[in-house]
A and B are shown apart, each in its own frame.
Chain A
């Protein structure tokens, strides 16, 4: 049986997708229910959650899939650096940082002939 076959595809998605993600969400509810919102333990959980998301961000930038896989690393890092500079210099507004990064990336891709 392969994943293309009707019901099996849905069972596959339900088990390997839904169950595999919601288990962690439920455990998070159980753990979070025991945390007081001013405790040192919550501060640690907050740090771990943020570091995990940061690691996902770094991987998306360093090891992208699709079109960007063929783009040079210096372009992606350069676009982030330009965007970060704009973000910190111009009032720390997320929209400014995001727009500047994407504009720099688009310009670079265009210049490289994508």
Chain B
């Protein structure tokens, strides 16, 4: 009887997660996918491959890099390396999210499966919303949101691909700009730890700085270097406050 109630409650939280499809971040992501469609249509990649890519890769920056590798005729090894380097950031993102999602009983295989649905939008959304979800329902909630978002965008890409040929330039430009601005506003808004604000500001400066210094590894270096600096600064201030208090 008890287990029945639990199952039911998981279904309810899964459905609550699904409803996340009708949220500002999901809407902005879908607009970004419309932008991605126009990029792939211009690149001449057939729609079936774009849908396949959306489901398999999911992370939008990684797909943009994959498409540009395909267009430039890069070898498989070169494309693999470029996409891998751009995706290293997924590791700390997932590592930061997992302790928020799991309970001591969550099986690892389930987390491995669900990690596929992590990309920036789902990460930002989940880091913000799981706080209001009971801990033992967070996996169900994230599964509902993550899986729905991927499937919805695969459908969207398959349908929209045929209509994106010529957007007015202002619309195309604004669609592109929505993504970074949404990330910026929602990370600042949802941060619950002071270190996040510091890391965000340092990362914004470190990104272009390392792009200028070492363009091959810029994101990685900006993340590890900038993140470590932010962490050290916040820790230093925290210690001093504790001593002062």
Contacts and interface: CB of A to CB of B under 8 A. Distances in A.
Interface of A: 2-3, 9-10, 12-29, 31-33, 35-37, 40, 42-68, 71, 76, 79-80, 83, 87, 92-95, 97-98, 101-102, 105-106, 109-110, 114
Contact of B80 (A19, A36, A109): A19
Contact of B207 (A29, A58, A114): A58
Interface of B: 24, 28, 35, 38-39, 46, 49, 52-53, 56-59, 61-64, 66, 69-70, 73, 76, 79-80, 83-84, 87-100, 102, 108, 111-112, 115-116, 118, 120, 123, 169-170, 172-174, 176-189, 191, 193, 195-196, 198-208, 210-211, 218-220, 222-228, 230-231, 234-235
B182 A53 contact: no
A17 B173 contact: no
Contacts of A26: 112, 115
12 contacts: A32-B99, A44-B231, A45-B96, A48-B92, A49-B93, A50-B191, A54-B226, A55-B226, A62-B211, A83-B185, A97-B184, A105-B177
Contacts of B222: 51-52, 54-55
B223 A32 contact: no
